[in-house]
Chains A and B, each alone.
Chain A
Amino acid sequence: MNFTCAARTDVGIVRSGNEDNYLMLAEHGIFIVADGMGGHAAGEVASEMAVRITAQKIGTLRGLSDEEAGERVRGAIRTANDAIFERTLSEQDKRGMGTTATVLVLLPQRYLIGQVGDSRAYLLREGELHQLTKDHSYVQEQVDAGLLTPDQARVHPYSNVITRCVGAGVDVAPDIYFGSLEKGDVLLLASDGLTGMLEDEQLVNIMESNGGPQVWVDRMVAEANRRGGLDNITAIVVRIDSVDSDTGEHPTVPAAASQRS
């Protein structure tokens, strides 16, 4: 598999610090976005720990079955949860810290996503944007239960409340998603500072414009800031340039792929 990837994070216009973190390990095909919460810079600590520990624990998924790979990702997020929760107990100023985590791993012809919280993964395929993850949020649960319409959910006073969180308790239950990949697919991981500021059509417009992943993430951040930049903004874009026919191969990265963080 060949892919091109780019990432960018930005403090936004309103917030004083950036509590988002991301990690792009292109050579392992691992991409993580985490949106931390908790005062006194604790949110930054939580999101940093989440991306670092999760990536470490995933290591490589080469040769694993889907089930094993899913369990590995789930276990990695839970390990990060343990470490963060441990710190909330031992360090007083870290009480209440936690983070979302959206983890994308590229498998030979498939993607694997681990999800906790309200950061999101999207897939743009043939002009259609699919949200791959489901938010662990109060309003999402209300919508699922039929108690709120999606429109009501958008303006609900508790639309900032998440119901699962890495580091808030002794354990966490990540959702795991699988799906196939095709040439030309574009995957987007984003914190709510992006998805809350831009509509789906705007995301599609940007990812269908010229320039490629680096230009797209730059545009997404600029556009979110232009609309007010109410929260920290983070985006990772991965464009699938080719998919192998045999399944034994590991993802390869073209030289042009940029990497930050």
Chain B
Amino acid sequence: MILLEIGGERYPIAAGETVIGSASDSAVVLEGVGVRPRHAVVQGMQAGAAAIRAADTEAEVRVNGVRLGSDPTPLLHGDKIEISGQELLVVDPARAGSTQLFDSGAFADLVPPPETRGTGIRTGGRLVCLTDGREYHIGTGALSLGRDAGSDVVVSGDQVSRHHAEIRSEAEGYLLLDHSVNGTYVNGERIGKTHLLARADVIRIGHDEFRFYADPTRQPAPAIKPAGLESEAPPVLPPVGAAQRLADTMHGMPEEQVQRNTPPSPEAAPLASLLFRSGDLKGRRSPIKVPVVNIGRGDYNDIVISDPSVSTMHAKLQRREAVWILTDLGSTNGTYVEGERLTGEVALTPGTTLRFGDVIALFEPLDDHVPATRTNQTRMMGRLDRLPPVSAPAEDHEKAIRPRRPIRVVPPRTKGPSPVLVISLLVMLAVLFYLLLS
């Protein structure tokens, strides 16, 4: 049988309807602003399953943070139901592995008060401003929020009090205290004097919103558990490696990739560098660690050249399909490749001399894919009118990820016969002439 748990109380869901609301005859009475007399209905089913629906279209019910539509949603062990900022936890003892029969009263005595809203969150508390992304750590002291310039978090706006609110780290968790005239809101609901914060709560003060973060709560120590319930509530952990895989997705390798001891791969080596031959950066080598770098005077560029002849967004260097391509981004003083002003895009070869405005730099790719032809000072491989269309063959996994050779790159034309050829021809003619004459 499924149980609903709130504030240490557990309510069994029998077959039929269980009403959650502020009306005193509700099976689960919830008080608080925004709770409707009949707010949500949990439908118990014969097999011990249950589903929840909002009692009417106005009632806001969230399950695991998602607002319910008109359709009921099945309740599973571990689901969190949120009604006007109050959280009910769905507990399914059968799902949690217990085979005992018990009534809810006996159960409440047996099990230590389970984790309820906010309880036990005591570390890693921080606020992230949803407007500017700034992060504020909540230390052992209080974090004050308000219009007063001395506040830890200064919030502007005429709806904001000088000392509007504070967050304290208390034994039971992080406590939000409201001292304001116009109120402090958590997840859209105005709070009373105090509110115990739960992870991912959104706090609104005036027009600014902050999200509260904290470390996940620890599982209760097994020693507290009575012997009979040892198999109760096994911790559900994410699969191995999930944290790494689900870290912020990145395209291309991070800088430290270069230094780390990872297996050799096309991506593992430093990609290229620019060796400056003039300007303030003269003699300096700027490493290129990602396949796309923006070059310019603006400080947001990957390679910043603070020279007045360089435009804020001057040029872009990009590796595509094992070829480095330089693009001028409409710079005022131009980008030059081997002395020739660049229009559109050009594929670079190793050792090419580039000029951004007045600043000269040598391009030195370090990746394996570009043939090491640095010694014979090959010039650019040719111009690309547009990038080659790349065709990944259908259902061909192997090919699909193998770096492809560049397509449609025109090799440099040799201008006239080479001197060596001319000289050898002349010598041969001379010998022939001599032989004929003699």
* Band of interface residues on A: 35 or more
Contact A222 B63 (CB under 8 A): yes
Any A CB within 8 A of the CB of B429:
no
Distance to closest chain A CB from B288 (angstroms): 14
Give B343 Cβ to nearest chain A Cβ, in Å. 16
- For the complex, what is the distance from the CA of A76 to the CA of B394, rounded to whole Å? 16
In angstroms, Cα B323 to Cα A170, docked, is 13
Contact A211/B398 with A13-B199, A160-B249, A230-B243 known, Cβ cut-off 8 Å: no
Q: Cβ of B392 and Cβ of A161 under 8 Å apart?
A: no
A37 to B250, CA, bound (A): 7
User: Given A141-B401, A147-B263, are A193 and B320 also a contact pair (CB < 8 Å)?
Assistant: no
Residues of B with C-beta under 8 A to A223:
76
Is B248 touching A37 in the complex (CB atoms < 8 A)?
A: yes
CA distance A154 to B242 in the complex (A): 8
Cβ of A226 to closest chain B Cβ, rounded Å = 4
Once A176-B392, A214-B71 are accepted as A-B contacts, the answer to whether A226 and B243 lie under 8 Å apart by CB is: no
The residue on B at minimum CB distance from A96 is: B251
Cβ–Cβ contact A154 & B245, under 8 A: yes
Q: Which residue of B lies closest to A146 (CB)?
A: B263
Q: Is A246 interfacial (CB 8 A cutoff)?
A: no
List residues of chain A with CB within 8 A of the CB of B394: 70, 175-178
- Contact status A144-B398, CB under 8 Å: yes
B249, B300, B394: residue with the most chain A Cβ atoms closer than 10 Å: B249
CA distance A161 to B246 in the complex (A): 10
Q: A221–B239 contact, CB under 8 A? A: no
Evaluate contact between B239 and A199: CB separation under 8 angstroms.
Answer: yes
Identify which of residues 371-394 in chain B touch chain A, using a CB-to-CB cut-off of 8 Å.
387, 389-392, 394
Contact partner of B251 (CB less than 8 A), chosen from A165, A177, A192, A221, is A165
Beta-carbon nearest neighbor of A230 in chain B: B246
> Are A227 and B300 neighbours in the complex by a CB distance under 8 Å?
no
Q: Which of B239, B264, B313, B329 contacts A196 (CB 8 A)?
A: B239
Residues of B within 8 A of A173 (CB): 390-392, 400
Q: Are A134 and B400 in contact (CB under 8 A)?
A: yes
A102 contacts partner chain B, Cβ-Cβ < 8 Å:
no
Whether A142 contacts B239 by the Cβ 8 Å rule is no
Contacts of B242 on A, CB cut-off 8 Å? 196-197, 227-228, 230
Whole-angstrom distance from the CB of A6 to the nearest CB of chain B?
A: 10
- Check B236–A161 contact: CB distance below 8 A: no
Residue of B with least CB distance to A116: B392
Contact partners of A117 in chain B: CB under 8 A: 249
Contact A142 B251 (CB under 8 A): no
Main SS class of interface, A: loop
Task: State the Cβ distance, A145 to closest chain B Cβ, in Å.
Answer: 7
The secondary structure that dominates the B interface is: loop
Q: Does A136 contact B (CB under 8 A)?
A: yes
CB of A227 within 8 A of CB of B236, answer yes
Given contacts A70-B394, A163-B267, A175-B400, contact A154 B65 (CB under 8 A): no
CB neighbours (8 Å) of B213 from chain A are 16
**Which size class do B's interface residues fall under?**
35 or more
Answer yes or no: A35 CB below 8 A from chain B CBs. yes
Interface residues in A212-250 by Cβ distance below 8 A to B read 214-215, 218-219, 221-223, 225-231
State whether A169 touches B400 (Cβ < 8 A): no
Q: Does A44 contact B (CB under 8 A)?
A: no
Q: Is the CB of B237 within 8 A of A228?
A: yes
Q: C-beta contact mask, A32-44 vs B, less than 8 Å → 1, else 0?
A: 0001010110000
On whether the beta carbons of B264 and A170 are closer than 8 Å, the reply is no
Given contacts A13-B199, A222-B63, contact A160 B248 (CB under 8 A): yes
Known: A154-B241, A159-B245, A222-B64. A142 touches B265 (CB 8 A): yes
Q: Are A100 and B246 in contact (CB under 8 A)?
A: no
A89 to chain B, nearest CB (A): 8
A253 to B133, CA, bound (A): 43
Which B residues lie within 8 Å of A65 (CB)?
none
Contact partner, B245, options A74, A98, A148, A160, Cβ 8 Å: A160
Residue of A nearest to B216 (CB): A228
A261 to B130, CA, bound (A): 24
Asked if A197 and B238 sit within 8 Å, CB to CB, the answer is yes
A158 near B240: Cβ-Cβ < 8 Å: no
Q: Which residues of A in the span 164-204 have a Cβ within 8 Å of any Cβ on B? A: 164-165, 168-171, 173-178, 192-193, 196-199
Option from B239, B318, B325, B401 in Cβ contact (under 8 Å) with A227: B239
- A169 CA to B260 CA, complexed, in Å: 26
Q: How far is the CA of A221 from the CA of B79 in the complex (A)?
A: 10
Which B residues from 300 to 335 make CB contacts under 8 A with A?
300, 313, 318, 320, 325, 327, 329
Q: Which residues of A contact B313 (CB under 8 A)?
A: 89
How near does chain A come to B334, taking the closest CB pair, in angstroms? Answer: 18
Pairwise interchain contact A221-B300, C-beta atoms closer than 8 A:
no
Docked pose: A92 CA to B254 CA in angstroms: 21
Lowest 4 A-B CB distances belong to which pairs?
A154-B241, A226-B78, A231-B246, A165-B251
A and B contact pairs by CB, cutoff 8 A, 30 listed: A10-B64, A10-B65, A10-B66, A16-B213, A37-B251, A134-B401, A141-B267, A148-B263, A154-B241, A155-B244, A158-B253, A158-B257, A160-B246, A160-B250, A161-B249, A163-B401, A168-B252, A168-B292, A170-B318, A171-B387, A176-B392, A177-B394, A192-B245, A192-B246, A197-B238, A211-B74, A219-B76, A226-B76, A226-B79, A231-B246
Taking A100-B249, A154-B245, A227-B237 as known contacts, 9 extra A-B pairs with beta carbons closer than 8 A to each other, sorted by chain A number, are A10-B65, A35-B249, A144-B398, A154-B241, A162-B249, A169-B320, A178-B395, A222-B63, A223-B76
Binding site for B on A (CB under 8 A): 8, 10-11, 13-14, 16, 35, 37, 39-40, 70, 74, 89, 92, 95, 98, 100, 117-118, 134, 136, 138, 140-142, 144-145, 147-148, 154-165, 168-171, 173-178, 192-193, 196-199, 211, 214-215, 218-219, 221-223, 225-231
Interface residues of B (CB under 8 A from A): 63-66, 71, 73-74, 76-79, 128, 130, 133, 199-200, 211, 213, 216, 236-254, 257, 260, 262-265, 267, 291-292, 294, 300, 313, 318, 320, 325, 327, 329, 387, 389-392, 394-395, 397-398, 400-401
